[in-house]
Amino acid sequence: MSTDDVERFFRDCPADDSAASRVQTFLKRQHDSTGNLTRPVVCVTSGGTTVPLERHCVRFIDNFSGGTRGALSAENFLQAGYAVIFLHRRHSIQPFTKGLPSGQILDFLTSVLEPDEGPQQGVHVTESASELVSSCVQRAQEAAASGTLLRLPFETLFEYLKSLRAIAETLRPLGRHAVFYLAAAVSDFYIPWPQMVEHKIQSAEFGEGFHLELQKVPKMLGVLRRAWAPEAFIVSFKLETDEGLLITKATNSISKYGVHAVVANILETRKEVVHVVRPADTDNGGRTEIDRIARGQEQFIEKPLVDDVVRLHHRYLTAA
Amino acid sequence: MSTDDVERFFRDCPADDSAASRVQTFLKRQHDSTGNLTRPVVCVTSGGTTVPLERHCVRFIDNFSGGTRGALSAENFLQAGYAVIFLHRRHSIQPFTKGLPSGQILDFLTSVLEPDEGPQQGVHVTESASELVSSCVQRAQEAAASGTLLRLPFETLFEYLKSLRAIAETLRPLGRHAVFYLAAAVSDFYIPWPQMVEHKIQSAEFGEGFHLELQKVPKMLGVLRRAWAPEAFIVSFKLETDEGLLITKATNSISKYGVHAVVANILETRKEVVHVVRPADTDNGGRTEIDRIARGQEQFIEKPLVDDVVRLHHRYLTAA
């Protein structure tokens, strides 16, 4: 895989460039009147990318991810004093909504019908859900008021990578104060736009079987690390279903792409245990296990995980 | 494609049988104390089915569908006096939530912080959104109170077809008073469970290209029509992106599977125009165009569409 492949990917990429200006405006808000950065900035990616099979897209390949890890991590980075660019799959879980299942929104709203009864008329949150909803709404309002959360949606692999590049190039002047926390589930194969059929694939065109020809997506991690934002602190993610492959694959990501840490996890246990894998010459031989229960019975593992990443990032800042 | 293929599909199908008992309980509620049916029952399917590529599923093929058509149609069937079984993709759009974008739920809730202020404390819907939300909540509460809406979720093609079969077999005793309104976007190719790999496909295993082998899903429309619920009124859907194919393909569905009507639509214009296609010897040569604007400027096309289907179903009932 060469830089030519990366060039070609972006040349053929159908997504627009709308993210760049929103990121620039957001970034200005993170500077004081004398132009000093007021807080570090993290780009949290979240949810799965889609790979269209037709240009007028009816069918697509998707990567399993509800976006819980990204959404909860974004909350914890805000809590830790970071500005957060939340690059997320459209309609995936948003920060401050965990515990509010979107499909059931009507289940916790209740309508009060009496007219002219002052402030209690209209729609209210049912009493049983009130405490949870109230906490979510308050924290979301705080983040909105402080201007430290930017939500950027994507749908396809094309939109995701184009936005990621725009964010990286915009954050480059921040040097070591920028963090990439790449929790999105990104497809590693796709159909390039020039090869993609125009219309819905007709089932009559295939007999009993159907062959789909996919190509590898150029690896962008190395390009992000070396070219787009060479000083940023980069944390990638590795999700596997086979325990035997997990740590080897995480270690390979470090040696191949030069990322600073890999969060490695197994599909079935990902809410309970994650491994933070680092270069072998760092402490603990470069491997820290984070266990939700062992770490003080946290409700969500993203709290100790983000704490650990923040600790590593601070060390990276002071080592400069 | 033979009934053997259908048998084999269900024999190898990994989904459980949990839908059947919920449908039975729901159906009992649609009968009065003397055992007479109090209203017709429609099964509205909605959203896209997924096709897993691995048993421990990380990647899957999906069919584009937000579920708007199904959700709005379900509302209109309830309005028209039907009991509705809403077989929907989990997290797709729900009845009575159109206009309430799930990701933005926190945008229309506001938290009132003063303590001990009586009923107005807690979380409220912001004033600007209050009318819309209030209408949604009231209609959802009415449906819940009347017990005429059953929401059954699915994720995979396997879960969808297993539930559809269970619903059809449970509704069979209703004869012509049962309607199937099949708006879900169902995959026509898949990987059978016995052939599916256990673990996440490793990108290292494929070189520059990657071949995916998929098989045709046995056509269930004909089986539903002939075997599962032979007297029910069946409306299927056809979504294409190529206008030239649309009506021919809809007409073929009628001759091949014997469905009573096909709702045919084009991806890009599906919210404005649909065609209700019927056997050629029925009125208008079997083709009715429904245009949202021409039909009295309806906000959503699902209102005149469901009106038309209800009219056809009533005619089918009286023709018996």
How does DSSP assign A116-178, residue by residue? S-GGG-EEEE-HHHHHHHHHHHHHHHHHHHHT-EEEEEE-BHHHHHHHHHHHHHHHGGGGGGE
Longest dimension (CA), chain B: 70
Distance of CA A266 to the CA centre of its chain: 17
**To probe the interface with B, which of A90, A123, A208 has the most B CB atoms within 10 Å?**
A123
CB B154 within 8 A of CB B49: yes
How far apart are alpha carbons B220 and B188 in whole angstroms? 10
Residue A105 pLDDT exceeds 60? no
- The secondary structure of A7-75 as a DSSP string is HHHHHH-----THHHHHHHHHHHTB-TTS-B-S-EEEEEESBPEEESBSS-SEEEEE---SHHHHHHHH
Question: Any CB–CB contact under 8 A between B138 and chain A?
Answer: yes
Mean pLDDT of A10-31: 91
B2 touches chain A (CB under 8 A): no
Side-chain half-sphere exposure of B99, counting CA atoms within 13 A: 14
Q: What is the mean pLDDT of residues B155-174?
A: 96
> Which of helix, strand or coil describes residue B46?
strand
Of A83, A92, A79, nearest to A150 (Cα)? A83
CA angle, B170 then B173 then B178, to 5°: 80
Q: Which of B54, B60, B105 sits opposite A62 (nearest CB)?
A: B60
Question: Does the structure show a pLDDT above 70 at A171?
Answer: yes
Half-sphere exposure of A94 (CA within 13 A, CB side): 24
Spell out which residues of chain B touch residue A213, defining contact as CB-CB under 8 Å: 209-211
Return the higher-pLDDT residue of A45 and B108.
A45
Contacts of A237 (CB under 8 A, 6+ apart): A182, A183, A184, A262, A263, A264, A265
pLDDT tens, B141-154?
Answer: 888 888 999 999 99
pLDDT single digits (tens) B272-306: 999 999 988 887 778 889 988 887 777 899 999 99
Minimal Cβ distance to A125: which of B123, B203, B208? B123
- pLDDT tens readout for residues A190-209: 999 888 887 777 766 666 67
Tell me how far CA of residue B280 lies from CA of B259, B293, B308, B311, in angstroms: 13, 26, 17, 18
Minimum Cα–Cα distance from B61: chain A residue? A61
Confidence category of residue A69, pLDDT binned at 50, 70, 90: very high
Q: Is A219 exposed, middle or buried (0-12, 13-18, 19+ CB in 10 A)?
A: middle
pLDDT value for B160: 96
Higher pLDDT, B174 or B193: B174
Contact (CB<8Å) A241/B54: yes
Which among B93, B137, B238, B257 is the top mutation candidate for probing chain A, defined by the most A β-carbons within 10 Å of its own β-carbon? Answer: B137
B274 neighbors B265 (Cβ within 8 angstroms): yes
A133–B109 C-beta distance less than 8 A:
yes
Residue of B57, B125, B216 with shortest CB distance to A203: B216
Closest CA to A156 of A180, A182, A179, A184: A184
d(CA A243, CA A245): 6
Sign of CA dihedral B120, B123, B127, B131: negative
A53-to-B198, B208, B218, B249 alpha-carbon distances in Å: 24, 18, 21, 21
Interface ipTM > 0.85: no
How close is the nearest chain A Cα to the Cα of B316, in Å? Answer: 31
Among A51-60, A96-105, B19-28, the range with the most confident prediction by mean pLDDT is: B19-28
Beta-bridged to residue A244, according to DSSP, are none
What is the chain A residue with the closest CA to B129?
A123
Of residues B94, B119, B199, nearest to A242 (C-beta)? B199
At B78, which helix (H) or strand (E)? helix B68-79
**Residues B74-115: pLDDT tens digits?**
999 999 999 999 999 988 888 988 766 544 556 666 654 444
What does the pLDDT read at residue B116? Answer: 44
- Provide the pLDDT confidence category of residue A232 given band limits of 50, 70 and 90: very high
Kindly state whether A221 is in contact with chain B, defined as any CB-CB distance less than 8 angstroms.
no
* Mean pLDDT for chain B overall: 86
CB A58 within 8 A of CB A203: no
Q: Give the pLDDT of residue A99.
A: 65
A125 to A128, A177, B9, B98, B143: CA distances (angstroms): 8, 40, 45, 19, 19
What pLDDT does residue B133 have? 74
Confidence of residue B320 (pLDDT cuts 50, 70, 90): confident
pLDDT band at A134 (very low <50, low <70, confident <90, very high): confident
Rounded to whole angstroms, the Cα distance separating A137 from B110 reads: 7
Residue type, B97: T
pLDDT band at A107 (very low <50, low <70, confident <90, very high): low
pLDDT at A124 over 70: no
- Each residue's pLDDT tens digit, A77-97: 999 999 999 999 988 888 988
Mean pLDDT of B152-167: 96
When pLDDT is averaged across residues A236-264 and rounded to a whole number, the result is: 91
Closest CA to A12 of A227, A266, A190: A190
Q: Rounded CA gap, B75 and B96, in Å? A: 7
Q: Is the pLDDT of residue A158 over 80?
A: yes
- Residue numbers of B between 250 and 279 with CB closer than 8 Å to A: 267-268
pLDDT bracket for residue A48 (50, 70, 90): very high
pLDDT at B111: 55
Q: Which range in A190-204, A288-302, B176-190 is most confidently predicted, on average pLDDT? A: B176-190
Mean pLDDT value of segment A269-273: 90
CA-based torsion, B119, B124, B130, B136: positive or negative: negative
Chain B residues inside the 8 Å CB shell of A94: 103, 106
Inter-chain Cβ pairs, chain A and chain B, closer than 8 A:
198
**Residue B307 pLDDT level (bands cut at 50, 70, 90):** very high
> How far separated are the first and last CA of chain B, in Å rounded?
31
On average, the pLDDT of chain A sits at 86
Per-residue pLDDT at B206: 62
Give the single-character DSSP code of A260: S
Is a pLDDT exceeding 70 seen at residue B226?
A: yes
pLDDT at A114: 40
pLDDT above 80 (res A116): no
Phi, psi angles (nearest 5°) of residue A276: -100, 110
Q: Which residue has the higher pLDDT, B2 or A51?
A: A51
pLDDT band at A286 (very low <50, low <70, confident <90, very high): confident
Q: Could you tell me the pTM of the whole model?
A: 0.84
CB proximity A247 to B under 8 Å: no
Residue A164 has pLDDT above 80, yes or no: yes
Higher pLDDT, residue A237 or A247? A237
